[in-house]
A and B are shown apart, each in its own frame.
Chain A
Amino acid sequence: LLYWAQQMERTSVPPIHNVAICGGTHGNELTGVYIVREMQKQKMEKAGSVSVTTVETNPRAVAAGRRYTEMDLNRCFTDVLLSSPITESTPYEVRRAQELNAQLGPKGSAEAVDLLIDLHNTTSNMGLCLILLVIDSLYYTKIIENNLSSVPVRAIQLDIPSSKAYSLESVGKHGFAIEVGPQPNGVLRADIFNVVKEALDLTLQWLQKFSSGHSFEGGTVEAYTFVKSVDYPRDSAGKATAVIHQNLQDNDFKLLRSGDPIFQTFSGDILKYEGEDLYPFFVNECAYYEKKIAFHLAQRKTYSFPPISVKND
């Protein structure tokens, strides 16, 4: 596959003139908050010819130390919510989404920022993941993966068509989230901060090289494609009756097969997985209890991408 990728025809890609780096979309995911603040303190506004904008996207949630104040900001970027009229009762996060869309978008227009990177943390043991809405940003995974040895680097593809995209990075012409864990909500770990800073530095360095005409060789990247979610078993009152089994806990991206334990009930019974071989991720993510998700399951595929260089304007 690699051979064929490198034989694929060299592709010209439009230049990236501007990048937005966002943190605090969930106010208790602290790495992004402090990365953005440090970049602002260092006046990181340019990387070569690429202009850099940094934004703390949900300052009220950050101040409160909460994921959100009224509604999850990272679900507010649908076309419907972005165009809904603002009234007295409009949740803060919907207003904020519209402000961000005006600042960094508008989504789908020529004025939108070329690349939007949104920084997140998870309580799950996922290492560093790039969460892509579409496959086009796969080469960023490769850049980071090739150069970062301290944590596993993976790509997750959610396969959401642009018309249905609800998260912040869909505002940019291109965009992805960098999701790093495990880190508890409200905790800032130096090792994770350092890894994310390094990943961003690699990305910005690459963008500078790319913009100045350097070409990037083709290659292959493995990506995990979302298939479905699994909820906790619940009682008639809707309360979870089990905890993630210790064999699954912290084993994100380890292949799950039929018969593998996934839950342990409070009375000690073990519940097993039934289904096709799939890869679990977001195992025991705190914020997903209310979304009725114990873990997601994905297929893993290898994608190839051609050699690319910047299209001269």
Chain B
Amino acid sequence: SSNNNNTARFDAARRVAIFGGTHGNEMSGVTLVNLWMQNSAEIQRKGLEIKPFITNPKAVEKCVRYVDTDLNRAFTQENLSATGGDELPYEVQRAQEINRMFGPKGSAEAYDVIFDLHNTTSNMGCTLILESSKDAFNLQMMNYIKKAFAPASCLVLLNEHPLLKYSTSRSVAKHPVGMEVGPQPQGVLRSNIFEAMRVILKHALDFISLFNEGMEFPPCTVEVFRVLERMDYPRDANGNIIAMVHPNLQDCDWEPLNPGDPMFQTFDGKTIHYQGSSTVYPTFINEAAYYEKQQAFVTTRRETLAASAIRKA
């Protein structure tokens, strides 16, 4: 993109995909994508090709998160270039297929935008997940969505951490956008969660439409929560958890956790306190899928990111 009066120029976003079922038991995305595959009227926008797509059909059919390995961690360069065909784990094969259809990741042919729809058992409300603090297009989109959704809350989680960031299915696109709505149990479809996801996606598509029609979006700032650290459960020598997220922390995603605050409760009733040196903002608190990933919650810090003005090239 070339700067003209500090306005970043991006090509029109012509090819957009909406992924559901990246985790087969996260039902809002599965249901929405299935609906739109049958009848896409609701998601159509002029001049825009929008493809709803079920990324992990076997996991959806079994209503499990994944069959062999987590699809949303599978898009590493190593996996994408692996040989072995049918011998490869199912999700690695799927990742290669998705990379062919919507990528290749990192190339000029890749899809412009991919929305990846997720649910969480954590009390996170509506969350947009950003992978790069330097993507002005995505920052402007998220600013637009937050404003359009207000007064209802839609927060932005930035995961740019070199060690904690992971290779998501949406990462094959030029502008990957994660949409995470909770709390919702795995395998359950709740109407309030379903409707919220439907609405934020509508705002996202409206943004792209306006951008493609030539609207200039002035410089803006976006409040984000930047991922700092993964906190695991205390465990015994065999790896079994020996405590639970403390009742004071449970459901308190995005609220400040101060040094000395209760963090875990052991099975015999003792409190374990947060020992960090400063206040953090925890999220993904008690997500079912993360017990096996050694994560009770992640800590974040609040930051304000600046995005330059953007306009279609």
Contacts and interface: CB of A to CB of B under 8 A. Distances in A.
A-B complex is real = yes
Interface of A: 34, 37-38, 41-42, 65, 123, 182-191, 193-194, 243-246, 249, 264, 266, 284, 286-287, 289
B35 interface: yes
B267 A34 contact: yes
B288 A193 contact: no
B246 A284 contact: no
Contact of B187 (A189, A249, A286): A286
Interface stretch (B50-58, B156-164, B190-198): B190-198
B191 A243 contact: yes
Contact of A193 (B31, B184, B244, B292): B244
Contacts of B186: 184-186, 286
A126 to B, nearest CB: 13
Contacts of A183: 185
A185 B246 CA distance: 18
Contacts of A187: 121, 185, 286, 288
B265 interface: yes
Contact of A266 (B31, B121, B292): B31
Contact of B267 (A182, A186, A193, A249): A193
Contacts of A194: 247, 265, 269
Contacts of A193: 244, 267
B288 A184 contact: yes
B250 interface: yes
B56 to A, nearest CB: 17
A34 B289 CA distance: 17
Contact of B190 (A41, A186, A284, A287): A284
Contacts of B191: 243-246, 249, 264
Contacts of B268: 38, 42
Nearest to A250: B190
Contact of A243 (B189, B267, B269, B286): B189
A185 B289 CA distance: 10
A73 to B, nearest CB: 18
A265 to B, nearest CB: 11
Contacts of A123: 185, 187-188
A41 to B, nearest CB: 8
Nearest to A191: B247
Contacts of B269: 194
Contacts of A264: 191
B190 A184 contact: no
Given A41-B267, A289-B187, 18 more contacts: A38-B267, A184-B183, A184-B186, A185-B185, A185-B186, A186-B121, A186-B288, A188-B244, A189-B245, A189-B250, A190-B245, A190-B247, A191-B247, A193-B244, A194-B247, A194-B265, A264-B191, A286-B188
A148 to B, nearest CB: 15
Contact of A284 (B183, B188, B267, B286): B188
Nearest to A263: B191
Nearest to B187: A286
A38 B189 CA distance: 33
A103 to B, nearest CB: 24
B149 interface: no
A199 B115 CA distance: 45
Contacts of B189: 243, 284
Top 4 closest A-B pairs, CB basis? Answer: A184-B185, A186-B288, A190-B244, A38-B267
Contacts of B183: 184
Contact of B265 (A186, A190, A243, A287): A190
A186 B247 contact: no
Contacts of B184: 184
Contacts of A65: 292
A189 B288 contact: no
Interface string B282-300: 0000101101100000000
